[in-house]
Amino acid sequence: MMIIMKHPMIRGKLPQPIIITTLCVLLFLAILYAERLSLISTRRSIFKFKTCSRKYNKLKSNERKSEEVLANASWIDDRFDFDGEECNVANGKWVFNKSIEPFYNDTTCPYIDRQYSCFKNGRPDSDFLRWEWQPEDCTLPRFNPELALKKIQGKRVLFVGDSLQRNQWESFVCLVQGIIPPKQKSMKRGRVHSVFKAKEYNATIEFYWAPFLVESNTDIHIIGDPKKRIIKVDAIQERAKNWTGVDILVFNTYVWWMSGLRVNALWGSFANGEEGYEELETAIAYKLGLRTWANWVDSTIDPNKTRVFFTTMSPAHTKSEEWGHKDGVKCFNETKPVKKKNHWGSGSNKGMMSVVASVVKKMKVPVTVINITQISEYRVDGHSSVYTETSGKLLDEEEKANPKNADCIHWCLPGIPDTWNQIFLAML
């Protein structure tokens, strides 16, 4: 017969000292565990192992107090990683960073038009290159040439539009060409169509001259007098047949439409000449032209094979009183951005911008809008100004001294268009 011995402590209560000691140990372990969780959480916050949008950060009342204490710390950055759909890239500010250097200059990149080569043309200051665009809600990644080339590997990228689109195209070429060996790249320029080849990546970065996107009597053989220009608002096929088979299309059109309050628009054949056109308000003609472009995109482009982008208007800065410089003339001798939040001058037309938004919204093919207008509005210091050429001829010293000769439409390279392409790459 098996006898089971019972320990006397099993039947009775545990001694009080043992109970108190056990409870103290358990309480200490709980506190230690909580502190460790807090430390891990804090590290994640500081080093941003995982980031998220502000709108998803719902803090409890006690956590809000901690956030307020940390808000003054310069090393805290609660912006979320760039998301083209989440981030309003136009909402932000230019921050001066004296340590940054451009990826190229007008000596290391041989593809810059003399019109944009401000340093070669005598510009003495360079601080305008050290301002970084910082969106308020997200972190905009710095341009990465290697990443850009990998994203376009085996593809054709085509910028279509006016001289400001050529500004952006040359910027993109210059941003990537520096890491390509000399024998692995080439440039073929044409009056209408220019092609840069990155042979090692089997990629091309191209530009097609079409200032209105639709056809006109002045898009190839340029007519200087705006009153004699006629825009064929319902015709695009003759130009657009050169845009098919492209993997990435980047369009723009704006400044050529802004020659007056009204433009000469034509439907049907050019055979009617001046007899057939009708004067239309600029915004109306612009909308008709953009609808023609949108119809071509929707009827021709396969969104599974081609991505479509549209760069918004690039502002002109011709009225210095608009940014508080009453004694100035245009953008002449401007060396710093406008500090006033949401500054908007007459060089950007909000009515025309809304036309783009309304047309794109109704399109079947998705169009990614590269919104560069507000960020460029601040940059009165970035234009070619008097460090440029006119009619193929550089300004002489006497002409450079005359503020009225300042080009306040186009931009220096390197310069502001590099930021446009920084946004473009982030969206790509």
Cβ contacts of residue 148 below 8 Å, gap of 6+? 172, 175, 176, 425, 428
Residue 407, class by beta-carbon neighbours within 10 Å (0-12 exposed, 13-18 middle, 19+ buried)?
A: buried
Tell me the C-alpha distance between 155 and 180, whole Å.
Answer: 16
β-pair partners for 146: none
Bond from prior residue into 414 cis (ω within 30 degrees of 0): yes
Q: Which amino acid is at 59?
A: L
Tell me the C-alpha distance between 280 and 276, whole Å.
Answer: 13
- The single-letter DSSP state of residue 296 is H
What amino acid positions are annotated as catalytic residues? Answer: 163, 407, 410
Kindly report the length of the chain. Answer: 428
Degrees, nearest 5: CA angle 409-414-419 = 80
Backbone angles phi, psi at 262, to 5 degrees: -135, 150
361 SS3 class: helix
The two counts, helices (H) then strands (E), for the chain are 11, 19
Cβ-count burial 397-406 (b if 16+ within 10 Å, e if not): eeebeebebb
Cβ contacts of residue 287 below 8 Å, gap of 6+? 355, 358, 359
DSSP code per residue over 170-195: HHHHHHHHTTS-GGGEEEE--SSEEE
Backbone angles phi, psi at 323, to 5 degrees: -110, 25
